Amino acid sequence: MGGRAIAAAGGSGGALRFVAIGDSLTEGKGDVHPDGTPRGFADLLAASLRQVHPRAVYANLARPSVRAAEVLGDQVPHAVDSRPDLVTAVAGVNDVIALRFPAAAVAVRLDEIIGGLRAGAPDATIVTATLPDLGHLSWVAARWRSRLERLNAATGAAAARHGALVVDLWNAAPLTREELALDRVHPSPLGHLRIARAFARTLDLPAPAPAYLSTAPRLAQLQRVYRTAVVAPRFVAKRMARRALIAGQPPKRPDLAEI
């Protein structure tokens, strides 16, 4: 595997530049490094990239709770200014779970995100993804299914218009309970690993194989109690205070740095 899908701009004497943009999925919510900071699929993908491009540098501009318009306004300009060779851009799920979902407007924002990246970094490899259906694991997610279908259709259409690659998580095998975090919204470490491997396949990169993951079964009953008593109320509270949460949370990894 040699990362053949990635534009070669970083291979002409300079370090290959990878920038990830998006929301808490790209930030790594549901998976953490030993120091407690988010890890997630983008960090795992960056590690795979480094195996092929040892001098690669990586920035992650993701912020929790942001919607597509905020990714467009705050992150796309920064990503373009970084002169990326590779960009991952996944957005829209916070629009899906909002009280109101203006599907047409969100589709326009997604097109502007991918189109803005393409215009500002014409030689970059841009990768986006459809989002998986979690309706079989959560009755709340089942209520969002039709919205998610429209978001995924808009994502695919934007990618086709602007020459971006699409990681199809919607039509992949359904996520298992082991691959979903306690909040029943974000992936668990195993879920992030699956997503990272899907991105790696699309980019012809080595499959991430972290040794820290365990596939031991969960203590399902205790987790249900914890989810009901702690995680669900906290998730609702964060929804109510979304703007304050965004304002208080800087980008995960705002500057390009060695992986």
Angle at 88 between CA 86 and CA 92, to 5 degrees: 155
- Residue tagged 């040699």 (tokens): 2
> Residue range 10-34: average pLDDT?
86
Give the separation between CA 95 and CA 99, rounded to whole angstroms.
Answer: 9
Alpha helices in the chain (DSSP H): 24-27, 40-52, 68-70, 76-81, 93-96, 103-120, 139-143, 145-162, 189-202, 220-226, 232-240, 242-247
Q: What is the mean pLDDT of the chain?
A: 86
The predicted pLDDT at position 41 comes to: 97
**From residue 85, how far is each of 88, 114, 115, 241 by CA, in Å?**
10, 14, 16, 35
Q: Strand, coil or helix: what is 183? A: coil
Report whether pLDDT(234) > 60: no
Give the separation between CA 259 and CA 56, rounded to whole angstroms.
Answer: 7
The predicted pLDDT at position 228 comes to: 45
Q: Could you tell me which of 20, 66, 65 has the C-alpha nearest to residue 43?
A: 20
Q: What is the pLDDT of residues 85-136, one digit of tens each?
A: 999 999 999 999 999 999 999 999 999 999 999 999 999 999 999 999 988 8
Buried b (16+ CB within 10 A) or exposed e, 145-157: eebbbbbbebbbe
Q: What is the torsion angle, in degrees rounded to the nearest 10, for the CA atoms of residue 81, residue 84, residue 88 and residue 90?
A: 10
Give the separation between CA 174 and CA 171, rounded to whole angstroms.
Answer: 8
**pLDDT-derived band at 235, boundaries 50, 70, 90:** low
Least confident of 99-103, 185-189, 243-247: 243-247
Q: How many residues does the chain have?
A: 259
Report whether pLDDT(36) > 90: no
Inter-residue contact 30 to 97 (CB < 8 Å)? no
The predicted pLDDT at position 5 comes to: 61
pTM for this prediction? 0.85
Report whether pLDDT(10) > 80: no
Report whether pLDDT(247) > 60: no
Give the separation between CA 37 and CA 70, rounded to whole angstroms.
Answer: 23
The predicted pLDDT at position 56 comes to: 97
The predicted pLDDT at position 244 comes to: 56
Least confident of 75-79, 137-141, 185-189, 194-198: 137-141
> Residue range 229-242: average pLDDT?
52
**pLDDT-derived band at 243, boundaries 50, 70, 90:** low
Inter-residue contact 170 to 132 (CB < 8 Å)? yes
**pLDDT-derived band at 138, boundaries 50, 70, 90:** confident
Least confident of 14-23, 43-52, 108-117, 177-186: 177-186
